[in-house]
Amino acid sequence: MNDKYTLKIGDTEIFSEQLIADLSSANEVIKKKAEAIVNERLKEIRVRVGTLLKIDNVSFLIGAGASIGEGGISLASIPLELEKSLHKKPKIPGDPDWLSLFYSTSSAMIGRTLTFEERRTALDGDPDQVPPIPINLEDYLSHLYIWQAGMAEIASNMKITLTEDDELVIMKDAIDRLILEMKFSLTSLVDLPIDDRKGALKFHRRLIKKTLTRPINLRRANLFTLNYDTLLEKAADAEGAVLVDGFVGTLRRIFRPESYDLDFYFPAQTTEGRVHRFDRALHLYKLHGSITWHRCTPDWENPFGLFATFYNQETPEDDVMIYPSPLKYGQALGLPYSELFRRFGTTIAQPQSVLFTVGYGFGDEHVNALIRQALAIPSFTLVVIDPAPKSEFVSHLKQLGDERVWLVSGWQLGTFENFVEKILPDLREEEITSKVMKTYKALAPSPQNIEPTPEDADDN
């Protein structure tokens, strides 16, 4: 499998297997020639992506993979950071034994025994030597919610038969507390970046900066994200950009989705009364909520009962987020998510639209359905950036061979960082480079007009 450079447009492979093999050749001549070809094709790809960026309607769908480099967690297993956070919770006399329930339910799902003592000892040791519990976090939370719903308000416990000689007893107060503590821990883990290390937000800032180089006469570009973190907001602040995120207000910012229909202009500076459009603004849609969103009682001034502020870890109980669980599909139909998803579906289904999906594994069917709908529009283009795609959705796209579908994979191109660095162009820099090359070619003498040197004359 080509793990370095894989870029497929419809049925066309941009980098052949032979070209990739030549990159690792022991023959330096072959290797350098292959590197030159790859660099040239990447330049061509940036030009083509630049053309896509000049389409009237440009959107990005950003998933969890784009946050990994800043300390984000993967949900493929139960993150060690989450497990450690559970161990740090204070134990209060009389509390239900929810942490033991965490390990007994995990043991039942993986088919081997895990104990508090065993995991505590392992977590206190070398973190690189501790394997995470091999359960998809969303699957685990799904089971917890199903068991919780099975008891509802009519039972205080339930028994699950594992084998003829073994059964699992789940107390309702313990599972209620376990779900609550896992949600609190998950919320704290998405307060990113995890530290102030050098280079933090580097690629998120470049994404913002490069996207803002689109021609000013086009529609504002759209950043749709499924992440709860505030990396995009922090990157925009660092770049001096304005994000229209659906909230308005000064001291108390409340959700007003009609604000997405507003725009920014400089006041008239000439006698003709011309105005100039502000060129540093993007639209941000947080489809699954945010750690900075909070609930309150709806009223005439705040009909959605939703406001945004700084992240406050002390009050996570009123956070507005769609947690990874089977409930998320139903939650997406409620406010404010239904309004955000309506705008996502409407935006990408407009004529002359392109959607770049970065760090998204196509695991959310309510999102996939809207992308399938957009693919029915002849002028829609989908660019999938994923280092190791595994979803059935992407497998089906590969089989289609549709020229409107780009598949960028492999760890040298398919990550968020490499996409921003190697594929996404800065249109202003590309324009300057193009002008320089045109000027150079225009000034360079043509071969037939070059007078032979004395040495050339002697050779003749």
Pair 372, 269 in one domain: yes
Average pLDDT over residues 153-177: 85
Q: Determine which of 102-106, 240-244, 263-267, 355-359 has the lowest per-residue pLDDT on average.
A: 263-267
Angle, helices 137-151 vs 172-189, to 10°: value is: 150
- Predicted confidence (pLDDT) per residue in 10-31, tens digit: 999 999 888 888 888 899 999 9
* Model confidence at 1: pLDDT above 50: no
* Model confidence at 460: pLDDT above 50: no
| Range of the structural domain that residue 144 is part of | 80-189
pLDDT bin (cut points 50, 70, 90) of residue 103 is very high
Residue 381: inside a domain: yes
Q: Determine which of 290-304, 311-325, 422-436 has the lowest per-residue pLDDT on average.
A: 311-325
The CA distance from 226 to 387, in Å, is 18
The CA distance from 233 to 286, in Å, is 11
Q: Determine which of 142-151, 255-264, 397-406 has the lowest per-residue pLDDT on average.
A: 142-151
User: Last residue of a domain, which of 174, 189, 204?
Assistant: 189
Which of 56, 55, 61, 20 is CA-nearest to residue 37? 20
In the sheet that holds 57-62, the strands lie side by side as: 12-13, 6-9, 405-409, 381-385, 353-358, 57-62, 222-225, 281-286, 242-244
Q: Which two structure tokens, joined as six digits, stand for 391?
A: 């979803």
Q: Rg for the chain (alpha carbons), in Å?
A: 27
Please state whether beta strands 222-225 and 281-286 pair in parallel, antiparallel, or not at all (unpaired).
parallel
* Residue 95 vs residue 121, higher pLDDT: 121
What is the tally of structural domains in the chain? 2
* Model confidence at 207: pLDDT above 80: yes
Pair 12, 96 in one domain: no
The CATH number for 240's domain is: 3.40.50.1220
Identify the pLDDT of residue 150.
Answer: 85
* Residue 193 vs residue 165, higher pLDDT: 193
Average pLDDT over residues 184-190: 86
Pair 206, 333 in one domain: yes
Pair 24, 120 in one domain: no
Pair 112, 203 in one domain: no
Which of 325, 366, 242, 229 is CA-nearest to residue 286? 229
* Residue 445 vs residue 343, higher pLDDT: 343
pLDDT bin (cut points 50, 70, 90) of residue 92 is confident
The answer to whether the predicted template modeling score (pTM) of the entire model surpasses 0.85 is yes
- Predicted confidence (pLDDT) per residue in 347-393, tens digit: 999 999 999 999 999 988 889 999 999 999 999 999 999 999 999 99
Give burial (CB, 10 Å; 0-12/13-18/19+) of 181: middle
Q: Which two structure tokens, joined as six digits, stand for 423?
A: 């594929």
Average pLDDT over residues 90-104: 86
Map tokens 């920014």 to a residue.
264
Determine the distance from the C-alpha atom of residue 53 to the mean position of all C-alpha atoms in its chain, rounded to a whole number. Answer: 18
Identify the pLDDT of residue 164.
Answer: 72
Pair 184, 230 in one domain: no
By 3-state DSSP, what share of the chain in percent is helix, strand and coil, each rounded to 5? 45, 15, 40
Q: Determine which of 34-43, 44-53, 63-72, 435-444 has the lowest per-residue pLDDT on average.
A: 435-444
Cis omega (within 30 of 0) on the bond before 425? Answer: no
Identify the pLDDT of residue 250.
Answer: 86
pLDDT bin (cut points 50, 70, 90) of residue 440 is low
Pair 30, 111 in one domain: no
Identify the pLDDT of residue 324.
Answer: 54
CB atoms under 10 Å from CB of 283, counted, come to: 19
Identify the pLDDT of residue 431.
Answer: 74
Residue 409: inside a domain: yes
* Model confidence at 50: pLDDT above 50: yes
Which of 365, 399, 367, 359 is CA-nearest to residue 383? 359
Rounded to 5 degrees, what are φ and ψ at 159? -115, 135
Identify the pLDDT of residue 312.
Answer: 61
State how far the alpha carbon of 311 is from the alpha carbons of 187, 228, 234, 254, in Å.
10, 11, 12, 15
